[in-house]
Structure 1
Amino acid sequence: MTIFNADEIRVALETAFPVPMDEYEDAFYCQLMAGSLNDLAKVYKRRFNETVDEIKAGGLLSEDFVLVLEESQKKEVDIPALRSGLPDLFAEVVHIPAPDAVKLLSNRFIYEAVKTQIGDRIKRYEAVNVDDLEARLPVAERPEYITMKTTPKGYIVKRVIRRRG
């Protein structure tokens, strides 16, 4: 199987579709080419996802490839634990994310104004910035209030490297 890199694909495209010399024509060419490549990328992404689904559904294995589920990690604050465990620190770092504040009352109000208006319902919207909490909390206490959340990003295909021996 031949693997092409972006430069090789660009050269092939520019051989098939020569680059205009006029700046306006070139800008128009680039605009059209970018749109076409974006559409083509969607086709390949859809085909990739369909093929991965077939591999998973059929339990297909390969000696040359392996299907790997990538994950991303993001720190999250355990709001109820921090609120009850360190109420003074919680009061220092708690806030309402702007989109939630807008949903509730508009941009005119800050945390205390929202709290005054909606009382205990604010708990559903309370948030603490991980960096703000880490700056104020000793490292040893962080695991009690900050957890690592792992979420799937999607599948990738990796080539298996075989050792000759």
Structure 2
Amino acid sequence: MHPFHQLSATSLHGKTINFSEFAGKVVLIVNTASECGFTYQYQSLQDLHAKYASQGLVILAFPCNQFGQQEPGNAAQIEQQCLINYGVSFLVANKVAVNGEQAHPVFQYLKSVLPGFLTANIKWNFTKFLIAADGSAIKRYAPYIKPEKLELTIKQALHQANKN
């Protein structure tokens, strides 16, 4: 089993999300924040989810309060923000740290395989990581890259996954 598929997280509802369930699926992981200038990207993420979930795309958001204290809420407040303002129906994990000693293991792993520009640390909210169906890392995207700009790469990854 690929190291990515050995990871897990906890959902906003306190349920375990086992990444082994993502084997054979293309996964987009995003660190998010409800009060960020990039929060509008939730809509694009939801659009990608609506369009490609049936073909094997999984989107998993990880709220994070490490950048400008832009995710101060608790799980209920985060969920309300995601659902009411953006109609989010993709997976949302519990709030986590993405940098430092307390960084969630998912982000420790992602930063090791896709280290980014100049430093492995995540620099801001809405950094995106695209993972192939076999668990291998495809690409890391900067916060300013809108989710719809990933669509061609997602389609290619889904096509490759569905060929195997």
TM-score normalised to structure 1 length: 0.20
Which one scores higher on RCO, CA 8 angstroms, separation ≥ 6?
1
Higher Cα Rg, which structure: 1
